[in-house]
Amino acid sequence: MSLSLPTPPRFMTLPPRSAAAEGATRQPSLLGGLILAAGIGALVGAAVLLLAAPAQAASAQVQAPPVKPGQPAPAGQQPPMTFPSLQAPPPTANPWFDGQWTAGAGAGVSTTLYKGDDDKISPLPIVSFDSERLHIGTDGLAVTALTLGEAFSISALAGYQDKPFKQKDSPMLRGLHTRKAAIEGGVSAEYATSLGAISLTYKTALNGAYHGGSVDLSYDWQMERDRWRLGAGAGLLWQSADLVDYYVGVRKDEARTDRRAYDPKAAILPHVSLSAGYALNPGKTWWLNAGLEVTQLPKEYTDSPIVDADAIIGGMLGITYTF
């Protein structure tokens, strides 16, 4: 299943999340807890670093002795690591349609949320087009509608979220009202520097699949060095009570002896992610990508009678070609 996490353009895409094993005892996730703690610390540290970025940039303006043509730069003046996804792309003749395509495939795995369901392994197709102002891909649509300088931007978002469960997935889910798949729309504001990017994203269902919506505050960092790309992210996802009910609520007419009625409140879900990519050729057109994402579930989720998990963990491995 998906918990409606934002899906801005990335060099790799995590799979949707799904459900939990029947009869399994809920166990706290040590890995999820450690990664979650590190991620929240990174989110707080990122805010401090972003505020300090102008001062660091000013202190870096120190006159250096000229370097003669052909002479290697001193060690202290070597080119720094670059953060390509956080820098404004070079000017193009057409900021909408002059871009690059990415195609590939992989596999995704995710732990389960619902009682009686199994962990999921699924194929993961990857197709996307990226230009200065446009992203279209299997993870959704993003249109950069407004930019202020090179750091701040506002984008309109659209995407598809599959229904959170099917009744046939588990005996515990039988008899629940059918949830619809969601056509989601929203808006995202992002402030980016070489130290990372902080974004605020709002999403809701345009087709009435659920009421309410979600707001996500996230920090994302990415670097590229030689053939490697490394990334990390952390954030807090707020979901309205109606959206939480869409995932884990049980109405009075759905209750039975082993499934009490449950009317949840709004919830905040901390989440963290790690990603890595390696260029398989010198031209950096073929990439091997991997990623891991952990979402910690609050009591508004874990108190539901159809839930048997404390965290959702998803991972992917895939190969892509860019042209």
98-120 residue pLDDT tens: 899 999 999 999 999 999 998 88
Whether residue 78 is contained in a domain is answered as no
Angle at 39 between CA 148 and CA 301, to 5 degrees: 105
Please state the rounded mean pLDDT for residues 22-36. 42
Whether residue 161 is contained in a domain is answered as yes
Q: Residue 146's domain is classified under what CATH number? A: 2.40.160
Whether residue 105 is contained in a domain is answered as yes
> Which residue's structure tokens are 């629940």?
176
pTM for this prediction: 0.72
Q: In 3-state terms, what secondary structure has residue 51?
A: helix
Kindly tell me the number of DSSP H helices and DSSP E strands found in the chain.
3, 12
Whether residue 89 is contained in a domain is answered as no
Per-residue pLDDT tens for 144-164? 999 998 899 999 999 999 999
Whether residue 178 is contained in a domain is answered as yes
Whether residue 133 is contained in a domain is answered as yes
Split at pLDDT 50, 70, 90, the class of 236 is very high
Output phi, psi for 69, to 5 deg.
-55, 135
Domain span at residue 198 reads 35-51+100-322
Strand partners, 200: 189, 217
pLDDT for res 323: 94
Please state the rounded mean pLDDT for residues 185-200. 96
Cα-based torsion angle of the residue sequence 149, 9, 57, 274 in order, rounded to the nearest 10 degrees: 160
CA 111 – CA 120 distance, rounded (Å): 7
Domain total of the chain: 1
Whether residue 79 is contained in a domain is answered as no
Instruction: With CA atoms as reference, report the closest residue to 110 among 102, 118, 98.
Output: 118
Whether residue 93 is contained in a domain is answered as no
